[in-house]
A and B are shown apart, each in its own frame.
Chain A
Amino acid sequence: MKYAYYPGCSLECNAAAYDWSVRAVAEVFGLELPEIDDWNCCGATEYFSQDELTACAVIARNLALVDPQLDQVVAPCAACYLNLAKVDRLMAEDPKMGQKINEALSAGGLHYTPGRVRVRHFLELLHSDVGEERIRQKVVRPLTGLRVAPYYGCQWVRPFKEIDNPEYPMKLDELLSWVGAEVIDYPVKAHCCGGHMTQISEPQAFELIRRLLYSAEEYKADLIACMCPMCQLNLDAYQSRVNGYFNTNFKIPIVYFTQVVGLALGLDMHRLGFGKEIVAARPVLEAKLQAQAAAPQS
């Protein structure tokens, strides 16, 4: 299987661990991910708050650049995923808007026909295209006893309702259970981490982050597995600031779900990007997976 890959800006640097682990896991299952040639930033939520047509055109350029041989694009960043999916839909549902977007694209010699490519998140590829059976077969280091809190965030589960339940999604839970982890059923798995609010209003952002960490801790999670670079950044890099602000003592490693899956597949921890997180994951992983860590494949 071959998919056009849209890494997004975060995966170039801040979320390199996500990029590495996506590629490493994809390789195990024979998923080819050629990068969209010369892709540009999707504008996150920032262009939409200034100029809608430009926001859409900037996103649509990436759709238009997808290799004509390929009909699916995969984004690991939830915000990128939503932007690509949203513009594809908008162009189909509002032909007048679609026409304007294409008029803008034509200034760069490009064109996009809505519906030409199907926009997917990397979780969907593992969960639905690879599937339970093949994943279970490849597990060489079952994560038995590792308590993982799946964290979905917002922009993959909402607003579209057909991929998973927008209030109580399950796909990440399922995937993590297939690799042997003990999946935590905690109530805030699809709540919001505050997105860009850490930059704008710390009290507001920190309270949202605190609620998530508090709940994960209450349910005795060893770590949180997320699927969006912004969520990872907020919960990981701002964790000590949140502790300072609320006088709390959270110490929960925040990693990408692909790193957790990769671990179960027996992939090397460095190759999966472990060590880049601010709250170190290694101690808890070593404590919990001692038996497996001693095995030769690690």
Chain B
Amino acid sequence: MIAPGHTQRGAAFLHEVISQTPGGERLLHCLQCGSCGGSCPNGADMQYTPRTIFAMIQADQREAVLSSNTMWVCVSCYFCTTRCPQKVPITEIMYTLKRLAIRDGLARHTDAPALAKTFTDLLDRYGRSFELGLASRFYLFNKPWAMLKMGPLGLSMFTRGRMALTPTKIKRIDQLQAIIQKARELGGAK
């Protein structure tokens, strides 16, 4: 556990992460037990395990954390979260790190931000989106060579009626867009 005094001494990044994460205060109670990293199906692919990331956050290593691949390897399976003895909302913290890395242009080693943006741009425009696991538009615009590799798969999905080329549009798209715009204005929220 981090001594209360420590939290006052220049751990600016720790407080930033806490303030951007619902239930983030629990991070102050991290015991560095390592259950999170041990539970993670993707731990081996991470530059730093969640436990290490939390130690680095406490040590105020903002840039090293936000430019690491750790949160991009996270697939939100919530194993770590349910196993953490201190109820640290680990998966939510991973989301916070993704948001901060994108916002500050520090996202490295990943196409995830581009995929996320392609996906939510469609949602903003149509109210519906494409199939996340068959991100044909994402491929088309970002990785055309990968689209070629997908070729036969796309075709067999298509012939089974499992792939649409454009999302459907909801009726009250204006209403949704007004809500999105307002949420953006109110942003900087948790």
Contacts and interface: CB of A to CB of B under 8 A. Distances in A.
A199 interface: yes
15 contacts: A10-B131, A10-B132, A13-B161, A40-B170, A50-B98, A50-B116, A58-B183, A97-B189, A154-B76, A166-B78, A199-B115, A199-B135, A201-B73, A204-B42, A230-B132
Contacts of A108: 172, 175-176, 178-179
Interface of B: 20, 22-23, 41-42, 45, 72-73, 75-79, 81-82, 91, 95-96, 98-99, 102, 110-113, 115-117, 119-120, 123, 127-135, 138-139, 153, 156-157, 160-164, 167-168, 170-172, 175-176, 178-184, 186-187, 189-190
A45 interface: yes
A237 B159 CA distance: 13
B14 to A, nearest CB: 18
Given A38-B172, A40-B128, A107-B178, A161 B187 contact: no
Contacts of A97: 22, 189-190
Nearest to B131: A14
Given A9-B129, A109-B175, A104 B186 contact: yes
Given A13-B162, A46-B119, A237 B183 contact: no
A234 interface: yes
Contact of A199 (B72, B102, B132, B160): B132
Contacts of A234: 133
Given A51-B184, A97-B190, A107-B182, A241 B132 contact: no
Nearest to B21: A52
Given A47-B120, A50-B102, A159-B82, A237 B128 contact: no
Contacts of A38: 127, 170-172
B81 A43 contact: no
B78 A14 contact: no
Interface stretch (A113-121, A131-139, A189-197): A189-197
Contacts of B168: 12
A141 interface: no
A13 B78 contact: no
Which of A159, A197, A199, A238 lies at the interface centre, i.e. has the most chain B CB atoms within 10 A of its CB? A199
Interface in A75-96: 90, 93-94, 96
Nearest to A161: B82
A276 B161 contact: yes
Nearest to B76: A45
B75 A192 contact: yes
A46 B77 CA distance: 14
B162 A276 contact: yes
A107 B179 contact: yes
Nearest to A238: B153
A93 B135 CA distance: 34
Given A13-B163, A49-B113, A158-B81, 12 more contacts: A9-B131, A16-B161, A44-B132, A49-B95, A57-B179, A58-B176, A97-B22, A103-B182, A110-B179, A196-B112, A199-B133, A237-B133
A106 B130 CA distance: 27
Contacts of A103: 182, 186
B43 to A, nearest CB: 11
Given A46-B115, A108-B179, A197 B91 contact: no
A154 B131 contact: no
A40 B171 CA distance: 10
B99 A50 contact: yes
